[in-house]
Copies of this chain bind each other. A is one copy, B any other.
Amino acid sequence: MSEVEEAKSTGSVQESLQEVLALLSKHRIVEQLVHKQDMRKHELVESLVHKQNLAELRKKLDTLHPADVAYILEALPLEDRLIVWSLVRAERDGEILLEVSDAVRETLIADMNPEELVAATGQLDTDEIADLAPDLPEEVIEDVFEALSTEEREQLRAAMSYVEDSVGALMDFEMVTVREDVTLEVVLRYLRRLDELPDHTDQLFVVDRAEFLKGILPLGKVLVNDPDRLVSEVMIPDRVRLEPGQKAETAAQAFERYDLVSAPVVDERGKLIGRVTVAAVVDYIREESESEMLNLGGLREEEDIFASVWKSAKNRWMWLAVNLVTAFIASRVIGLFEGSIQKLVALAALMPIVAGIGGNSGNQTITMIVRAMALGQIHRANAKALLTKEIAISLLNGLVWGTIFGFFATMLYHSLSLGLVMMAAMTLNLVVAATFGVFIPMLMHRLGRDPAVGSSVLITAITDSGGFFIFLGLATLFLV
C-alpha cells in the first residue's frame, strides 16, 4: 500500500515518465540486437532479457495511479504508447481510458478488440461508461447494455442522452440518501454498514419516500451533533439544486461561488436523480479553458502531439482556410488602389501598420467584452456606456499613436500631408475596431452563438480590409 501511495505524490509523475522511457529504450535496444541475430538466438534472448524488461515495466505501471498511467500514455509516441498499453492490467483499462485525452483515447481503443472493450467497461459506473460511449463501436455498446441490470440500463440511457457541457453530462449516481424522520444514530449505523463512502461525499441527501429532495445533511453535522437528534432538526435547505438540462457552466459558477464539494441534481419535479462533484467540475473547467485556448489558436480540437502529419494538418485547415479567405478579400481591397500605390509607393509600406493597430485594438475590446458577457455583467442598461467608453479609448489611442506614426511617416517620406493621412486613417480604423469589437460579440450572443468562437477572426477581417480601404481611400482622395 505504502509504495503505491508514495508513487502518487506530486512531482513523481515526471520521474515515473523518465523511468518508463528508460525501460522502453532498454527494451528497444534488445529488440534491435535480436533482429541482428538469427532466429534461434532470437527466441533465446526474447525469452530472457526481453521479457525481463517488460516485466519490470509492467511492475512499475502497476504501482501507478490510473491518472499517472494516462499521463504517461499521452506523453509517448504511438508505438511506445501501444507497448505500454499492452502491459497495463486489463482490469485497469476502463479507469485509464476515462483519464486520457480524447485524441489519445481514440488511438488506444483502435488497438483493442470488442471483448477487451466490453471487459474494460465492466469496472466502471454507468455515468463513466456514458463518458466513453461516443468513442466505442456500436456492437460494443450493445454488449455493454446487455451486461447491465435494468436500473443501470436506465441510468446509462439517461446519462448518454445528456448533451455535452450540460449538468447531466457532469452528473454521477453515487449519492447517499437518508430520510428526515430518523435519528443521527440511525444514520451513523447505516453509514457503518457501507464498506466505504463514495468519493466526495461531504453531505448526505435527505429525501422523502418518493425520492423528492427535502434538504441536505453535511457529514460535519452528523459528526458534531448529538446522535439522538433527528435528521429533520439538523438538516439544512439545499443551497444549490441543479437540473440535468442546465449548462455545465452554471454548475461551475455555483461551485466556484459557493465553494461546494457536491451538489444535488433534481428533475423538473424536484426528485433527486444524481449529484455533481467538484472533481467533475474541476475537470470541466480545465477542459473548457484548454479548448478556449485551442480555439483561439485555430486548432479545432485537442491534438495528440504525436498524431500523424495528415491528421494534424486536417485539424488546422479549417482555420487557415477562413483566414486565407479574409486575407484574399483584403488583398482585393488593396487591388482596388493599385493605381494610387504605383504613384505613391510609400503607401504599400505604411498600410500594414494601419491594418495591424486596428486588429490588435479590436481584439483587446473583444477579449474584454466576451469576458464580461461570460460573467453576465453586460445588460441593456450599460451597453451604451461601454460602447461610448471603447470609442473614447480608441480616439485617445488614435491621437497618441496616430501622432507618433504620422510623425514617422512625415520624416521618412518628407511629406506632412502623408503624415496627416496616416494619423487620420489610424484613428478611423481604431474607431471601427472599437465599434465592431463591441457589436460583434453582442450580435453573436443575440443570435444564440458563443461569442468567444469566431469573434477574433471576424474583427481581424474587418480591421484588415477596413484599414487598407480607409488608408488607401484617404490617400487617393488627398494625396494622389
Contact = CB atoms under 8 A, between A and B. Distances in A.
Contact of A401 (B192, B242, B324): B324
B356 A348 contact: no
A134 interface: no
Interface stretch (A49-57, A146-154, A386-394): A386-394
A211 interface: no
A408 B332 CA distance: 11
15 contacts: A1-B237, A14-B376, A18-B379, A21-B379, A191-B223, A223-B223, A292-B293, A297-B366, A298-B363, A313-B397, A319-B364, A328-B353, A331-B353, A334-B352, A335-B412
A292 to B, nearest CB: 7
Contacts of A246: 10
Contacts of A1: 236-237
B253 A10 contact: yes
Interface stretch (A31-39, A111-119, A280-288): A280-288
Contact of A224 (B18, B191, B237): B191
A259 interface: yes
Contact of A65 (B191, B199, B257): B257
Interface string A308-341: 0110110011011001100110111011001001
Given A332-B349, A349-B332, A357 B323 contact: yes
Interface string A199-230: 11110000000000000000111111110000
A403 interface: no
A280 B10 CA distance: 18
Interface string A85-126: 000000000000000000000000000000000000000000
Contact of A335 (B191, B289, B349, B464): B349
A9 interface: yes
8 closest A-B pairs (Cβ-Cβ)? A297-B367, A289-B289, A197-B220, A259-B279, A348-B348, A67-B257, A334-B349, A327-B356
A320 B199 CA distance: 49
Nearest to A187: B223
Contacts of A241: 9-10
Contacts of A222: 223
A283 B282 CA distance: 10
Nearest to A198: B220
A390 to B, nearest CB: 8
Contact of A258 (B67, B238, B468): B67
